[in-house]
Amino acid sequence: MSTAVKPKHIGRNISRIRELKGMKQEALAMAIGVTQQTVSNIEASENVDDEKLNQIAEALGVSVEAIKNFSEEVVFNIIGNTFKDHGAIPIITTGDYNCTFNPLDKVVELYERLVQAEKDKVEYLEKLLNGK
C-alpha cells in the first residue's frame, strides 16, 4: 500500500489564484509580457521555472510560496472561520475597525436630505414666479 504524496500542481495553483483575484488570462499575460496562450500552457503545467514564477507572483500580488503552497481547502477554512454572525445588528468588520451603523440607514438619510433640497428649490422658484 503506497502513501505517496501527490506533487503540487503549480499551474493549477496559479489558475485558481488568478481566478480568485478576478483576473483573466489575458490580463496576466499582459502583466508578464507573454501571450494568453502561453499563460494557458503555464496553467496546464505541473511545474513552472523560477523566473516565470517570480513574474507571475508579482503580477498576482502574492508570494512565490503562496503559489507553491496554495490550497483551496485552506482558503475556504479561512473564509468560514472569519465570517461572524452578529444577529440583527449589522456590523461590518474591516481589519481592526467595526462599523456599527447600518449603511442602508445612511442611504435613506441622504435620500431624505436630497428630497428636502429639491422641495426647497421648488418653493424658491414658486416664490420667484409669483413675485413677477
Rounded to two decimals, what is the model's pTM? Answer: 0.54
Is there a contact between 46 and 11 (Cβ–Cβ < 8 Å)?
Answer: yes
Tens of pLDDT, residues 9-22 = 889 989 988 988 88
In the Cβ-directed half-sphere of 31, how many Cα atoms lie within 13 Å?
Answer: 18
Is there a contact between 51 and 59 (Cβ–Cβ < 8 Å)?
Answer: no
Please give the C-alpha separations between residue 100 and each of 40, 48, 91, 110, in angstroms, as whole numbers.
45, 46, 5, 18
How much is the pLDDT for 88? Answer: 46
How much is the pLDDT for 101? Answer: 67
Rounded distance between C-alpha atoms, residue 8 and residue 47, angstroms: 8
Tens of pLDDT, residues 67-99 = 888 777 766 665 566 655 555 445 454 455 555
